[in-house]
Chain A
Amino acid sequence: MSRRCIFPLVLLMLQFLSAPTPGAETVSKSESRFKRLIQPVLAEHCFRCHGPEKHEADLRLDNLDVDFGNATSAETWHDVLNKLNLGEMPPEDEQQPSEAQFQQVVDWLTGGLELAAAAKRRSGGHVVLRRLTRYEYNNTMHDLLGIDLDFAKDLPPEPSSEDGFKNSGAALSISPLQIEFYLQAARTALAKAIVTGPRPEVYHHHAEESAPSRRKKEVTSNTVTPDARFVARLLDYPTEGEIVVRVTASAIVPKGEGYPPMRVTVGLRSDVLAPEEKLGEIDVTATVDDPQMYEFRGRIEQFPLPGHNPKYPGVLVTVWNDYDNGERKPLKRARRKKGDDPPPAPASNVPTIVIKSLDFEGPVFQSWPPNSHTRILFARDSEDDQQRYVRKVIQRFATRAYRRPATEEEVDLLLSFFNRIRDESPTFEEAIRETLAMVLISPEFLYLMEPHDGGKSKHPLTDFELASRLSYFLWSSMPDEKLFALAERGKLSEPDVVAKQVRDMVADPKSNNFVEHFTDQWLNLSGLDRVAVNPEYYPDFDDRLKPEMRKETQRFFAEILYEDLSAMNLIDSDFAMLNRRLAKHYGVTGPRGSEFERVALAADDRRGGLLTQGSVLLSNSTGEDSHPIRRAVWLLDRLLDSPPAPPPPDVPELNQGEPDLLGLPLKKQLELHRQKDSCNRCHRRIDPWGIPFESYDAVGQWRSEVLRVAKKGRDTRTPVVASAILPGGHEVDGLEQLKVYLLTQESKRFSRALVIKLLTYSLGRSLELADEAVVESLTTQFAAADYRLSDLIIAIAQSEPFQHN
């Protein structure tokens, strides 16, 4: 069932906008025009495949409503228009309508849709009441309470909308399960934020020598190699609060090698075999004659603490050396389980970390009660009685949580709850916690509320609503005090103020949330987790590269955003963002450490832009070989906003009953595939986009031959074929040429797609016909600003759909 393509590309739409429109035609007149001029053409050329008998592509035109005011059918007609404009329909091998007939249908559609869009501009385009996503909820809880815990870990994973985004109001639903977890999380969080009792005991642990390990085969030492770790065993430890681990260490780095990454983990609950969790990781760059102190922070509750089994007392703090020099031990059949140790690298020629000492301290706090407490339960005015004080506490907390001033009525309701439970509660603090927990399950907190009269017209947002839109767009969290203050002063509808504020927000480290979530969702980077790399094909591949690939793409996007580079760098660039391991994987020289840095590329590096990044290549592969169809669909969908239709029902299996195709080059196989009519209809417009990627294997490495592993060493290697003729007739050979083609011929389509994706993400809703004009104008502005993302973000923040609902 095809329900996407709500807003597909309209390549030639623009030039038709000026086409004669039916203007003031009455409904009956337009209907008669349809019957007289249009329907016969459709009947002759379309209904055979999209009529009562067959519904190719899940599309039936003969009974499709021709009233473009009907949103559903209008969207479908819009798709039809696109197909016509792209010359994709009727299929080449079918009888074609005359030029005049063709034009008539196109004019009818264009004019009618344009009118309907204009009518709709006054009505639709509302953002549907939007619940906070898991990550938005987590960030908001963190910013609101100042407690750094993972509050979302029990919440079910989020669905994606049809256009791939996780923050779409229409797609985000809520269920009893979630309410249950929200209440649980609220109570947990408030119990930590608001404290009772005396200052807790602080545990200190100082270790200068590694403790022995209880695991068999495990070597412990102060000289940490990939085979040996440093262990500190804490028999006394806190169970709650922030902890600090300080490691004083240095590194011995053999010539030509990089810095060893030091990973610190905490935990170990042997009764259920729960492994330790990572506290932090950093490259050790200090030399032996000048050891440095490296500091790691976290909350002890985040780690697996000892269970009931007295056989395994204490918490382990372990220091690991994650250096990977690329050498692999012979392949073992048994797969590693998550949490198992990384495969040990040979000890020779590997950088080592020398531990001088390790210090543990926890819980740490700057004051008692901690800030999280005094921020909520601030000092009480001497003239306030308890009722007035509690009212103020609620007022202040709810105002922050609701991201706008809490109303009198809301405060009354919360206060009434407080009064009802106060007597039953063991302490004043407990009653306050419960009351504030009520705030945290209220719709005003869980949803981005933009109440409107329910009328059809859109209205300007209040300044507080705008502040929330901005902060959830760029920070994935609640507004900070400055943004809130701007809203209080009613400044956020002024374009200059918005522009300045957006620049400040992008400069804030919290904008990393935007970078990560937008790139992840737009480019579908989580696909990396769902492809298993087959070690028979890639014995050298280490799964730990996957998160680095994801990070590469995020850092690449970040570089373009923060350095104000042209977004066309996404198609092709003369630099890459790499760290040592990834550079090595790609065969590029440069970085020595785990941090990502900008690396200048030479032509023979064969990298540049998104298309050559491991994240894209691997997530759209089979784990054994490239997958040209998936790569093509990804390119069409994500970069050009022209997703092909999903497979129709009952498409036959590839090659069933046909002679074995193994050994034929992939391009040949796809050609055979396309000989089947049912396949060809869609795939001739898909496959050519994926063929040019063929010089990159499943894990994103350059290749000139395609490997197929077979039993008994009968592996085959066939030369790569990367040339294809694109649907427009343009021939490209390899990614370099495809990139040139995209930059020269498709820059408009790409930039427009990026505008659409960014606008969709910023609004939290799918775009509609009525947004066409805004998209057009934003695309023009984007080009005029040399495709700088920051300017595009500002333009979006100032745009009509962003400022209205």
Chain B
Amino acid sequence: MAKPSWHLDRRTFLRGTGVSLALPLLDAMTNRGQAAERSERPRRICSVYFPFGVSLPPDDHEHSEWNWFPQGEGSEFRFTKTLSSLKSLRQDVTVLGGLSHPHGRSIGGHDTGDIFLTGASLKGSSYANSISLDQLVAQQIGDQTRFPSLTLSSDGGVGEPTRSTTLSFSRNGRPIPALSKPQQIFDRMFGEGDGEIQTQRRKLESSGTMLDLVLEHSRSLKRRLGKQDQQKFDEYIASVRAIEQRVERSQRWLDIPKPEIDSSSLALESSPEGPMEYIRTMYDLIYLAFQTDTTRVATYMLGQVAGATTVANTFPAFLGLAGNWHGLAHGAGKKGGYENLGRFDQFLAEQLSYFLTRLKETPEGDGSMLDSTLVFYGSSNSRTHNNHNYPLVLAGGGQLGLKHGQYLRFTEKTPLSNLFVTMLDRLNVSRDSFADSTGEMSELLA
């Protein structure tokens, strides 16, 4: 491969599959003036959540090979059938057992998806969440990319409190709507925008003025509202303000062309009715977003924990596994139940492996993209309705000082947030604490 050029052509052509094409570091394209930063490789984080927990047959059960957690411990462990697709990635992953959010242990068995990345306490008379891990990172490094973060879910939108369909929560704990349609996600990140640069510039300037006036007007309008309405209205004002800032930022980005992606290898028309293709496409989109340095922060919520409202409930059925996901999880104790749910857990893990493998096979600097990307994967239930012992995988970040190839077991004394503190630190987002953390997770450090 030729020596990577630090300055991209206006029409750098990226293949959707991307495997054979090592991308030059894209902040070269973005921060032309900041030579010092160029040598710093982008650090990224992707968090993926799935609902309903996993299959956990007892050790002496005939289907114990369908237990999600590995056999053994430390570096001496063996994947069961469920995570067997991670074998080739063994030195890039750590499986974590025994962890949970202490605040989540006493809330409803269906309510914990909301706090998977926040660790907040939802007790009390009114719902109040707090900032999620990804948004904290986006606050710090989001301004280095075209989009501060990418929030995806199979359901889309925000859902309802305790049944959120997004993993991301803003600084004040407001849910951030997730995108669910591959075509829409693609267009938003890589779409052409309308017309010539001149037209776009005029539109952006006009947007800036417009939003500025709307903002000014809204602030005076707010004073005429009742107290409850004012609180609601603050959301509107904050949103307009955020878009105003984004418009400003877009003006700065205007001369930098969006990467041109050949979409033909992406299944952008896929929908949750074809779960495998759909999930892979969502992973593909995150991969492309990372590869093109369109963003460095992503979340994907595969489904949420209310069987009655999540589109993911039908995933197993489309794969030929009998029944809906919620039912599958509830029926784990039935005859053949552990195996049925285990097969589905295995399917999900295979999609994760697909994503990790793509990252690993994409060279970057003297390593791979995976080496500077943290991928956090898991559920906030062990079994269905059980809010302890989350099944979790942390992958990547080999060049960010993480030690992998382990299966770590913790007791309830260690809050999950300790892991978040460690992840934040690896991403250069230094924080002494996150939510209810009590320290770092030194077991993970190389």
Contacts and interface: CB of A to CB of B under 8 A. Distances in A.
Interface of A: 1-3, 55, 58, 72-73, 126, 128-129, 154, 156-162, 169-171, 173-180, 183, 187, 271-275, 333, 335, 337-339, 410, 413, 416-417, 420-421, 424-425, 434, 437-438, 441-443, 446-447, 451-455, 524, 527, 529-532, 534, 536, 622-624, 630, 646-658, 660-662, 709
Residue of A73, A169, A622, A651 contacting most chain B CB atoms (<10 Å)? A622
Interface in B291-311: 307-311
A417 B334 contact: no
B393 interface: no
Contact of B273 (A2, A176, A338, A630): A338
A661 B337 CA distance: 12
Residue of A55, A175, A337, A624 with most partner-chain B CB within 10 A: A175
A339 B277 CA distance: 15
A761 to B, nearest CB: 16
Contact of A179 (B243, B271, B317, B388): B243
A649 B380 CA distance: 12
Interface stretch (B30-38, B88-96, B204-212, B434-442): B204-212
A175 B127 contact: no
Contacts of B174: 173, 175
A157 to B, nearest CB: 4
Interface of B: 58, 105-111, 122-123, 125-127, 155-162, 165, 174-180, 183-184, 202-203, 205-207, 209-211, 213-214, 217-218, 221, 224-230, 232-233, 235-236, 238-240, 242-243, 246, 263-264, 268-269, 271, 273-274, 307-311, 313-314, 317-318, 320, 322-324, 327, 330-335, 383-388
A431 B242 CA distance: 24
A274 B269 contact: yes
B107 A272 contact: no
A116 to B, nearest CB: 16
25 contacts: A1-B107, A55-B106, A129-B225, A129-B228, A177-B177, A178-B177, A183-B207, A335-B320, A337-B274, A417-B213, A434-B206, A434-B210, A442-B217, A443-B214, A443-B233, A451-B226, A530-B310, A531-B313, A532-B313, A534-B317, A622-B323, A647-B109, A649-B108, A650-B387, A653-B384
Given A272-B183, A413-B217, 15 more contacts: A129-B229, A157-B157, A160-B309, A161-B160, A174-B235, A335-B273, A416-B213, A421-B209, A438-B214, A451-B224, A454-B225, A530-B310, A532-B317, A650-B388, A654-B330
B198 to A, nearest CB: 10
What 10 A-B pairs are tightest by C-beta distance, nearest first? A656-B333, A532-B317, A157-B157, A72-B125, A156-B177, A176-B242, A156-B157, A532-B314, A129-B229, A454-B226
A706 B305 CA distance: 28
A658 B324 CA distance: 22
Contact of A648 (B109, B159, B311, B335): B109
Contacts of B108: 1-2, 58, 646-649
A531 B386 contact: no
Contacts of A337: 273-274
Contact of B155 (A157, A176, A339): A157
B214, B221, B224: residue with the most chain A Cβ atoms closer than 10 Å: B214
B320 A1 contact: no
A651 B109 contact: yes
B308 A271 contact: no
Contacts of A173: 158, 174-175, 232, 235
A674 to B, nearest CB: 16
Nearest to A531: B324
A661 B334 contact: yes
B227 to A, nearest CB: 6
Contacts of A55: 106
B268 A333 contact: no
A647 B273 contact: no
Contacts of B184: 154
Contact of B233 (A129, A442, A536): A129
Nearest to A273: B269
Contacts of A275: 269
Contact of A339 (B226, B242, B269, B310): B269
A58 B322 CA distance: 34
A247 B236 CA distance: 48
A176 B246 contact: yes
Nearest to B314: A532
Given A1-B122, A647-B110, A660 B157 contact: no
B243 A530 contact: no
